[in-house]
Structures are given as structure tokens and as C-alpha cells.
Amino acid sequence: MSMAETLLIDGQWRGSADGATLDVINPATGEVVQTISQATVADVQAALAAAERAFPVWAEMSARERARLMHRAMDIFRGRLEEAARLLTLEHGKPLNDSRKECAYSADVIDFYAEEGRRLEGTHFAGDLGPTHSFVLKQPLGVVAAITPWNFPVDLLAWKLGPGLAAGCTFVIKPPSEAPLAATLFVRSFVEAGLPPGVLNIVTGPGRTVGAELVTNPISRKIAFTGSTATGLWIAEQAAKQLKHVTLELGGSAPFVVCDDADLDIAVPEALRRAFSHTGQICISVNRIYVHRSRYDEFVTRFAEAASRLRVTADGIAEPDADMGPLINQAGLETVRQHVADAVERGATVLTGGRAPDGPQYARGYFYLPTVLTGVTREMRVMREETFGPVAPIAAFDTLEEGVRMANDSPYGLAAYVYTSDLDKAFYAAKHIRAGGVGINVNDITDIRGPFGGMKMSGIGRELGTPGMDAYLEVKHVRVRIRPPR
Ligand code: NDP
């Protein structure tokens, strides 16, 4: 595969039809990491046609054989995990240990679903109205367009490919323009494992052309999308016109609720990690912290002090265990600056951060210090919108009912976290917070066996777990008349 032949269409690595390329930039240095091909609409159409031709081949293969190929692909990928993790750090800026973790988890997801595919079952029952017997079969949906974001470009692709491939679907993948390299290496492992040509195709390029063709072309029967709510809404509108299936994992604004009886030795470091790792660029990042008034001062002091000691790296490979790197691009940095400026104008106090870190190593990248705000109110953009950056606003509440109301005061409903030692409070909050996932004394709602997805403006459908597999299957009812033997 030469440098600018990075499209994968029908088993061939190719350049784009018009030779166009795009540069992948290291957000820590502004340097070009690699130049890749930029697909044309004709390339996307060729990829969709290839996926359509490959669909009966892949769907007819036994689940056992599909699983064998998926496992083999992950054996190959694990052999190049370090290479993939380095690429991910260069294109995204996250510290190498975070990249390693993402790549390793992605392989686990594929292995998990390879076996889930072998365990797929339908149901059967005796007919309700007479001498019939019914079988309910699960069959693969067809060609899937997988459109993924730059924050977890390998992981969020694995969440789609794992269940989809195991179900028998074929894919056209559009990785994010900002960070397509590690994801492409991930897919290369499947090709080398011997997947039939056309089962996986990659078309890199802008969402507004490449992504739009994937969404509107009648060949794709499902759009599996992770990204912003704005793009997700547009995709939902387009998909509705052709009644395509969608899984939309969109923005979030996760609340972190600290009750009066919380163990701050656990709550402070866990809030810190979930607010600032990946530079706050996770859909389940902590965006709003609500602390019971009786613990507010103590929490704020400890949290701000710990935030001021976090290590921001301009070289995530040399400092693999740093806490965070840069933001992904200038637009991301601008959003953070604007949200902090808006909060300060409306009366918030910056306890730490609120600016770029000092030092020549940070001069060329999109850096912003871990930032803690107090004196925040619900009107502030930082409380209403997804900042997608290293900013943690903290507010106080008096009763848990009020804390839950504040947690729900958002158009989003993806993740929420509650820290308490009281079972009643834990269950009350878990029941009443409107979010697709609630962590009780744990700062991550991701488990391969648990459904992951959003309520309200955070999305439709679930990934991971059993629902994550069902999302790639159609249900078919086969009804058989049972006649007496003649
Ligand atoms: P987008 O939603 O624009 O991008 C996500 C993916 O969708 C990318 O691959 C993008 O392509 C593609 N895309 C963009 N427009 C279209 C379209 N019309 N049709 C089909 N595909 C399209 O998010 P951004 O990367 O621009 O990030 C903006 C904000 O979105 C962030 O600041 C954050 O708030 C939120 N976000 C949330 C994520 C989450 O995990 N829930 C992940 C990423 C972002 P390309 O970028 O190559 O043009």
C-alpha cells in the first residue's frame, strides 16, 4: 500500500478516482503525519457496489467460518498493536497508553462478537390460530455505512464491525478525516486475514461529500454513526426518506453527582479522570459536576488542586502516561475558549486553567489547560452545550431530588455518574436520571456486555451487548402449516 493509495474498494488498495489527497495533521505539532487518498462520490459508489456484491458471499458463510476470520484478523492486529497505537497518538494527540488501551479493547470487541455470532438464536412457537408452527429467524441487514468520529476512531469502528460482521453484514467505512490512520491499519488486518473482497471497504474524505453519498445512496440499508448531534439529525432525516435503519450515538453532557456521603478519595480522582482524559473529548466525559453543599468546599478544593497537577503532553509517545494531550483542531480549541469566556462573562470563577499551558513545546498545537469553574449557572454555554474539551464546571445542590433535577437539566442523556455510600440514594438517582447509562461509584459506563447509547438528543439505538448485535439483524417470521401425513 503506497502512501496515497488508502482507499479500500473491492479488496484493492487504491487512490481516488481524481487523485485527490488529504493531509492528516498531528494536533500537537501541526506537522503532517501522512497524506491519504480523498474519495470521490464515484469511489463511494464503487465501494457500495462492492459491498453489495460481497453481501451474499459473507452472509452465506457459516458463523463459525466468519468467526475464524475475525479472530485471525485480530491476531494480526495484535501483532501490530504498537504500530497502530503510535499512529493513533500521532493523528489524535492522546498519550500512548490511552492509544494502546483503545487498540487492545477494539480487538477484544471483535473477538467477543465473533463468538456471539456463533451463538445467535431465533425462536419458534406453535401457532396461535391452528395447526401451524412458526420460526423467527434473524438475518443480516445488508450493506452498512459506518461513519465514525476522531475521538475513538478504532474503538468506535470495532463497536460497529464486531456485531455487523458477525451478523453477516458487509461495510463501507468512512473514517474521520482528522484521524483515519490507525482505523485503516485495523481494517488492513481483516484484509490480510482473508476476508472476501468487498466485505470491508474504506472511503476516506469529507463527511459532506463522502459521508452524504453513503447516507443517501439506496445500497446502504443501515447507517451506523457516532459523532455530533447536528450531523446525526441530518442523517436521521435522510435515512427516514428510505426507511433505512440507523444507530446514532451522538453528543453528551454527562453530569457527575456527588452525594453528602460520597467517598471523596474515590470520587475526586474518578471525576478528574473522566473530565480530563482524552482532553475532555469523549461523549461520556464529565461535563457538569454537582456536589452536595455539605461537601462542596472540600470537593472543589481537592478537585481543583488535583486538576492543576495534571500533566499535559505535547509528545504523547515520549510521555505515554501523561494525563492528556491537545485538542483535535483549531475549531475544538475555539469552542473551549468561547465556552470559558461566556462562563466568565456571566460570573463564573476560573479556579485553575482557563488558558493554554506555558512552554515552547505547546506553541504549535491546540492546547488548553485542565480548567475548573465555580459560580456556574444553568444559562452558561458550558452547562448547556457539549464543550468537548478540558473544562469542569462545579455547582452545589441541597437535596438529592434537586441534584437529579440539575443532572436532567440538559438536552442530552448519554451518561451520568453518581457517587454515594447509600443504596437508596444510588437507586433513586439511577432510576430518575434520564441517561442511557448511569455509573454508580464508577466513572465509566462501558462494558462489552452492556448496551451503550443515548436518550434525548444523545441518540437512538444501542451499541455493545445483545442490542448491539440485534442492530445488524432483521427479524423474519416463517409460518409453516402442519398437515397430517397423506
Ligand atoms: P461530526 O459529526 O461532523 O463528524 C463525525 C463523522 O461524521 C466524521 O467522520 C465526519 O466526517 C462525518 N460527517 C460529517 N458530516 C457528515 C454528513 N453530512 N454526512 C455523513 N457524515 C458526515 O463531528 P465533528 O468531528 O465535526 O465534531 C464536532 C463536535 O461533535 C465535537 O466537538 C463534539 O461536540 C461532537 N462529537 C461527538 C462525538 C461523540 O463521541 N459522541 C465524537 C465526535 C464529535 P469528516 O469529519 O471527515 O468530515
Residues 6+ apart with CB under 8 A from 113: 70, 162, 163, 165, 166, 468, 469
Q: What is the mean pLDDT of residues 403-428?
A: 98
Angle (CA) 412 415 418, round 5°: 120
Which atom of ligand 1 sits closest to the CA of residue 234?
A: 18
- State the amino acid at position 415 in one-letter form: A
Kindly give the distance from the C-alpha atom of residue 284 to the centroid of ligand 1, in angstroms, as a whole number.
15
Kindly give the distance from the C-alpha atom of residue 251 to the centroid of ligand 1, in angstroms, as a whole number.
10
CA distance 111 to 374: 44
Q: Is the CB of 213 under 6 A from ligand 1?
A: no
CA distance 20 to 41: 12
Kindly give the distance from the C-alpha atom of residue 366 to the centroid of ligand 1, in angstroms, as a whole number.
18
Q: Are residues 239 and 316 in the same domain?
A: no
- State the amino acid at position 65 in one-letter form: E
Kindly give the distance from the C-alpha atom of residue 252 to the centroid of ligand 1, in angstroms, as a whole number.
13
Kindly give the distance from the C-alpha atom of residue 233 to the centroid of ligand 1, in angstroms, as a whole number.
11
CA distance 184 to 89: 14
Q: What percentage of the chain has pLDDT greater than the value 90?
A: 99
Q: Is the CB of 176 under 6 A from ligand 1?
A: yes
Q: In terms of residues, how long is the chain?
A: 486
Q: Are residues 267 and 187 in the same domain?
A: no
Whether 331 has a pLDDT exceeding 60, the answer reads yes
Kindly give the distance from the C-alpha atom of residue 225 to the centroid of ligand 1, in angstroms, as a whole number.
9
Local structure of residue 140 (DSSP, 8 states): E
CB atoms within 10 A of CB 138: 17
Q: Are residues 295 and 438 in the same domain?
A: yes
Considering only CA atoms, which residue is closest to atom 20 of ligand 1? 211
Which atom of ligand 1 sits closest to the CA of residue 414?
A: 41
270 part of the active site: no
Mean pLDDT of all residues belonging to the chain: 97
Considering only CA atoms, which residue is closest to atom 4 of ligand 1? 227
Confidence of residue 4 (pLDDT cuts 50, 70, 90): confident
- Residue of 6, 147, 460 with the most ligand 1 atoms within 8 Å of its CB, for mutation: 147
Contact 287, 390 (CB under 8 A): no
Q: Which of 308, 311, 389, 388 is nearest to 351 (CA)?
A: 308
CA distance 303 to 351: 10
DSSP H helices in 80-180: 81-92, 96-118, 155-167
Q: Are residues 430 and 473 in the same domain?
A: no
Which atom of ligand 1 sits closest to the CA of residue 147?
A: 9
Q: Is the CB of 143 under 6 A from ligand 1?
A: no
The CATH number of the domain holding residue 434 is 3.40.309.10
Confidence of residue 159 (pLDDT cuts 50, 70, 90): very high
> pLDDT tens for residues 193-210?
999 999 999 999 999 999
Please report where in the chains the cell 436532567 appears, as a residue.
Answer: 408
| Residue 246 belongs to some domain of the structure | yes
Sheet containing 459-460: which strands, arranged edge to edge? 12-14, 7-9, 200-202, 170-174, 143-147, 222-226, 245-249, 459-460
| Residue 484 belongs to some domain of the structure | no
169 part of the active site: no
Confidence of residue 439 (pLDDT cuts 50, 70, 90): very high
CA distance 162 to 153: 14
Q: Is the CB of 331 under 6 A from ligand 1?
A: no
Q: Are residues 131 and 159 in the same domain?
A: yes
> pLDDT tens for residues 29-57?
999 999 999 999 999 999 999 999 999 99
Q: Is the CB of 117 under 6 A from ligand 1?
A: no
Kindly give the distance from the C-alpha atom of residue 78 to the centroid of ligand 1, in angstroms, as a whole number.
28
| Residue 2 belongs to some domain of the structure | no
| Exposure letters 212-247 (e unless 16+ CB within 10 A, then b) | bbbbbbebbbbbbbbbbbebbebbbeebeeeebbbb
φ and ψ of 329, to 5 deg? -160, 180
Considering only CA atoms, which residue is closest to atom 12 of ligand 1? 207
Looking at the DSSP assignment, which residues form a beta bridge with residue 35? 23
Domain count, the chain: 2
Which residue out of 283, 385, 386, 463 is catalytically annotated? 283
- DSSP helix, strand, coil percent of the chain (3-state; round to 5): 40, 20, 35
CA distance 275 to 254: 9
Q: What percentage of the chain has pLDDT greater than the value 70?
A: 99
Q: Are residues 220 and 272 in the same domain?
A: no
Q: Is the CB of 333 under 6 A from ligand 1?
A: no
Q: For residue 100, how far is the Cα from the chain centroid?
A: 16
pLDDT of residue 154: 98
Whether 1 has a pLDDT exceeding 50, the answer reads no
Residue 24: its H or E element: strand 21-25
Q: Is the CB of 373 under 6 A from ligand 1?
A: no
Considering only CA atoms, which residue is closest to atom 16 of ligand 1? 207
Q: Are residues 48 and 78 in the same domain?
A: yes
Q: What is the mean pLDDT of residues 153-171?
A: 99
Q: Is the CB of 454 under 6 A from ligand 1?
A: no
Q: What is the mean pLDDT of residues 418-434?
A: 98
Residue numbers of the domain that contains 224 = 7-250+459-477
Q: What is the mean pLDDT of residues 121-149?
A: 96
Q: Are residues 82 and 45 in the same domain?
A: yes
Whether 2 has a pLDDT exceeding 50, the answer reads no
User: Cα dist. 145→5, 80, 167, 214, 467 in Å?
Assistant: 21, 26, 15, 6, 18
Q: Is the CB of 194 under 6 A from ligand 1?
A: no
| Residue 454 belongs to some domain of the structure | no
Contact 170, 58 (CB under 8 A): yes
Which residue out of 102, 116, 249, 270 is catalytically annotated? 249
Q: Is the CB of 151 under 6 A from ligand 1?
A: yes
Burial class (CB in 10 A: 0-12, 13-18, 19+), 13: middle
| Residue 435 belongs to some domain of the structure | yes
Kindly give the distance from the C-alpha atom of residue 150 to the centroid of ligand 1, in angstroms, as a whole number.
8
| Residue 205 belongs to some domain of the structure | yes
Residues 6+ apart with CB under 8 A from 449: 464, 465
Q: What is the mean pLDDT of residues 26-31?
A: 98
Which atom of ligand 1 sits closest to the CA of residue 250?
A: 41
Q: Is the CB of 231 under 6 A from ligand 1?
A: yes
Contact 271, 442 (CB under 8 A): no
Contact 226, 156 (CB under 8 A): yes
DSSP H helices in 178-241: 181-193, 212-216, 229-241
Q: Are residues 194 and 212 in the same domain?
A: yes
71, three cell numbers:
479472530
Q: Which of 214, 74, 51, 240 is nearest to 141 (CA)?
A: 51
Q: Are residues 122 and 208 in the same domain?
A: yes
CA distance 347 to 394: 13
Q: Are residues 151 and 282 in the same domain?
A: no
The CATH number of the domain holding residue 47 is 3.40.605.10
Q: Are residues 179 and 262 in the same domain?
A: no
Q: Is the CB of 174 under 6 A from ligand 1?
A: yes
Which atom of ligand 1 sits closest to the CA of residue 180?
A: 47
| Residue 267 belongs to some domain of the structure | yes
End-to-end CA distance of the chain: 64
Q: Is the CB of 187 under 6 A from ligand 1?
A: no
- State the amino acid at position 174 in one-letter form: K
Please report where in the chains the cell 442490542 appears, as a residue.
Answer: 467
Confidence of residue 130 (pLDDT cuts 50, 70, 90): confident
Kindly give the distance from the C-alpha atom of residue 180 to the centroid of ligand 1, in angstroms, as a whole number.
13
